[in-house]
Amino acid sequence: MKINKSGAKFSAIVKIGEDLREESRKTGKEFLYLNRGINRVVNIDLSKIVKNIDFNSDALQYYPHSKGMVPLRKAINNEFFAGKASEENIYVTSGGMNALSLVFQTIEIETFYTNSFYWGAYSNALKIAGKNQFFYNDFDDLKTNFKKYDNGTVIICDPNNPTGSKTDDNQLFEILDLFSKQNTAVIWDGPYRRLFYDNTDNLYQKLLTYDNVIITESFSKSIGLSGQRIGFMHCKNQVFNEEFAVRLLYSGNGINAFAQILVEKILSTPEGKKAAEDFKTKTVADITENIKLLKNKKLLVEEFYGNKTPVGIFVIVNKSFNELKEKNIGSVPLNYFTKRKDIDVENYSRICVSVPKNDFRLFFEKF
Ligand SMILES: Cc1ncc(COP(=O)(O)O)c(C=O)c1O
């Protein structure tokens, strides 16, 4: 049997987690697993929401519409776009990763640009789609050298994974304005943003004015439901959407109906909205405290942040993977997220700061 090898690799971050757990099991050492990309300050409390779900219903038990259930697409429209989008342009996907993979396949452009500090899965999914990945240094680079990105696709992730920095929205819109006047497609992939904002955030409404912007979103981070594998894609280009719809249908034959109903209830019922708000408030409070502690202890990498403060959920610290491991802290070496050589990547690591502040303090007091 001949195999169509893509060259993509299995997630190295998963392997780090498995190794640390194995070491913990063998030695009895307790680790703080900051290598993982999930919000673990609290879980979203679903107890009041689940009571509103009719498990003995056709909606839950039969195939859902392959574009996603209409009530969920409506709820997404209200939550992200203040009802100003067309539900026809919203496609429910099996998480952000599924949306991104299908977008990469569907766009007929070979050249994709990501931030020089990027989520490793972009590289692998691009490789599977047969695309070439290049880098932009930062948002100043995109703005100053915008012509260089003509005829390419630019992925914007803000707040950034891995650095946790948030760029000023006005600067991001200046870049979108430049790209909208040339042939640059933009994938807006910001699954961390809505953890820090509620639906009064009008960024997504503003994105609706750009025909060249494709939005990929996820409910894994903003409401902590990575286990439900649910997200969405929005695009205004009808030719793109027709092809995306076909690929979405034949990649999974629709998205899990329970997950869709659950998220719809979170976005649209009073109990759901309250649960999401509590989750966000508690999560952001501890993230903020944890970053403050790192700043006081001078553990944040100065050359990234200067006098600015990252928002999270990740930050880069000036300790290596091994230095952190000596203090029983799991992390991911920064060289998993960049090919840059002008930065001391060997001695820096990405940590997730979305864990309870008391656990965080206990482990970081050792520095
Ligand atoms: C930048 C970025 N985009 C998208 C995703 C997709 O998340 P999911 O597939 O869980 O929805 C992640 C997950 O870590 C991410 O870091």
pLDDT at residue 366, rounded to an integer: 87
Pick the residue whose CA is nearest to atom 7 on ligand 1: 96
Per the confidence metrics, is the pTM higher than 0.95?
Answer: yes
Instruction: Please report, as a single letter, which amino acid is at residue 33.
Output: Y
Q: Which segments of the chain does DSSP mark as H helices, in order? A: 12-27, 47-50, 58-61, 70-81, 95-106, 120-128, 139-144, 169-180, 193-196, 203-207, 219-222, 238-252, 257-268, 270-296, 302-305, 321-326, 357-364
For residue range 55-96, list pLDDT tens digits in order: 999 999 999 999 999 999 999 999 999 999 999 999 999 999
**Chain-wide mean pLDDT for the chain?**
96
Q: Which of 161, 188, 225 to mutate to test the pocket of ligand 1 (most atoms within 8 A of CB)?
A: 161
274-301 confidence digits (pLDDT tens): 999 999 999 999 999 999 999 999 999 9
Ligand 1 atom having least distance to the Cα of 231 = 11
User: Which class for 103: exposed (0-12), middle (13-18), buried (19 or more C-beta within 10 A)?
Assistant: buried
pLDDT tens for 313-334 read 999 999 999 999 999 999 999 9
* Predicted pLDDT at 306: 77
CA nearest neighbour of 33 among 366, 350, 282:
350
Q: State residue 12's pLDDT score.
A: 82
Q: How far is the CA of 191 from the centre of ligand 1 (A)?
A: 6
pLDDT tier at 312, thresholds 50, 70, 90: very high
Residue to substitute in 11, 221, 230 for testing ligand 1 pocket (most ligand atoms within 8 angstroms of CB): 221
Instruction: Please report the atom of ligand 1 found closest to the CA of residue 226.
Output: 10
How much is the pLDDT for 8? 94
- Read off the pLDDT of residues 155-202 as tens digits, 9 standing for 90 and up: 999 999 999 999 999 999 999 999 999 999 999 999 999 999 999 999
Atom of ligand 1 nearest to the CA of 95: 11
pLDDT at 307 over 80: no
With a Cβ cut-off of 6 Å, ligand 1 is lined by 37, 95-97, 119, 157, 161, 189, 191, 218, 220, 226, 231
SS3 (DSSP) at 49: helix
Domains and CATH numbers, the chain: 12-44+277-364 (3.90.1150.10), 53-268 (3.40.640.10)
The share of the chain scoring above pLDDT 70, in percent, equals 100
Distance 367 CA to ligand 1 centre (A): 31
Relative to the CA of 37, which ligand 1 atom is closest? Answer: 14
DSSP lists the bridge partners of residue 115 as: 136
pLDDT of residue 74: 98
Question: Please, which pLDDT band fits residue 360 given cuts at 50, 70 and 90?
Answer: very high
Which pLDDT tens digit goes with each residue over 100-142?
999 999 999 999 999 999 999 999 999 999 999 999 999 999 9
Q: Going by CA atoms, what residue is nearest to atom 14 of ligand 1? A: 37
- pLDDT (tens digit, 9 = 90+) per residue, 148-163? 999 999 999 999 999 9
54 — pLDDT class (breaks 50, 70, 90) = very high
